[in-house]
Amino acid sequence: MRIVLIAEESAGIRVLNELSRLPHEIVTVVAKEPAEGDLDARCVWNSAKQLGFGTWPAHRVNEPELAAWIKKDVELVLNVHSLFILREEVLEAASIGVFNLHPGPLPQYAGLSSPSWAIYNGECKHAVTLHRVVPKIDAGDIVFEHFFDIEDKDTGLTVFLRCIQFGIPMVLRLVELAARDPASIPYRPQDLSKRGYYGRDAPQEGKIRWDLPARRVCDFIRASDYAPFPSPWGLPLTTYEGREVGVSRAALTGEPSGQSPGFVRHNPDGTWYVSCADEWLKVVRMVESGEWKKPGEILTSESSFES
């Protein structure tokens, strides 16, 4: 079977490595070109080159030449963590179809940053979905999905990584079915009346609201936490003594607070608490001017954040 892989990030590299061990032909790998002189193998483009596969620049993914090439020679197109939107000519070119690995349950979490939105919305479960690609974003028939629990300790990164963990075997299962008998691929239409779509922007304009319940504040902070990697939402920001600082990690305390939202308390054990609408929230790690800092390097007792 002849396959085109459109991919980015670590998930794309892992799928590429797995496919390279199978008895199928990877016709080309579509990925972003690294900067000139960047030989870091931790990108799909360089990984493909090292494995001896041809590459096609991702910014040219919708050119007529690629669609014509796929229509002539390719049966299956796999999209793994590439955010380029494919034109209809490309979607219709492969004889079996184009399939996308999406890090969220569908139709409820179509769009971007699904792991972060799930934590922010207080979900207890999340899923990774493999679906057929159609012109409407993340709206095609579901092939496979895998649900897993979201725990209180989870961050945007840990949920995202579990989507990769459970998602890659689904991609390989699809390849197996497509090669053996395309008619055996189990399609299930989405109920688009339940569709939710999330865009690129962070909630609350990326600002912490101390006047919300502590769990809501904590969920926003951990949903934004992809350390040591950049967060798709950026850092949750707040204003302290007239300057903008970030809170990158926090924890619930369960201790009720009668102070006004944003009030800072330094405890005898060295921990720092901030008052929310209902209880104290423990601030664990902060950022100022791009540098990670302990709360005590920024905060002073009996002060307040702007709410």
Question: The domain containing residue 127 runs over which residues?
Answer: 2-198
Q: How deeply is 270 buried, as exposed, middle or buried, from its count of CB atoms within 10 A (0-12, 13-18, 19+)?
A: exposed
Is residue 211 over pLDDT 90?
Answer: yes
Region class of 227: left (phi > 0), else alpha (psi between -120 and 50), else beta: beta
175 shares its domain with 244:
no
Q: Are 213 and 276 in contact (CB under 8 A)?
A: yes
pLDDT tens for each residue of 97-142: 999 999 999 999 999 999 999 999 999 999 999 999 999 999 999 9
Peptide bond into 115 cis (omega under 30): no
Confidence of residue 65 (pLDDT cuts 50, 70, 90): confident
Distance CA 84, CA 251 (A): 36
Is residue 274 over pLDDT 80?
Answer: yes
27 shares its domain with 161:
yes
60 shares its domain with 98:
yes
Mean pLDDT of 271-286: 97
194 shares its domain with 208:
no
Peptide bond into 107 cis (omega under 30): yes
Give the count of domains, the chain: 2
Which token pair is 176? 């197996």
25 shares its domain with 157:
yes
Distance CA 23, CA 8 (A): 22
Tell me what pLDDT residue 64 has. Answer: 87
CA 173 to mean position of chain CA atoms:
22
277 shares its domain with 190:
no
212 shares its domain with 67:
no
Confidence of residue 41 (pLDDT cuts 50, 70, 90): low
Confidence of residue 176 (pLDDT cuts 50, 70, 90): very high
220 shares its domain with 299:
yes
pLDDT tens for each residue of 138-150: 999 999 999 999 9
Mean pLDDT of 67-79: 92
CATH of the domain at 107: 3.40.50.170
CATH of the domain at 227: 3.10.25.10
- Cα torsion at 99, 100, 101, 104 (round to 10°)? -120
Last residue of a domain, one of 166, 198, 230: 198
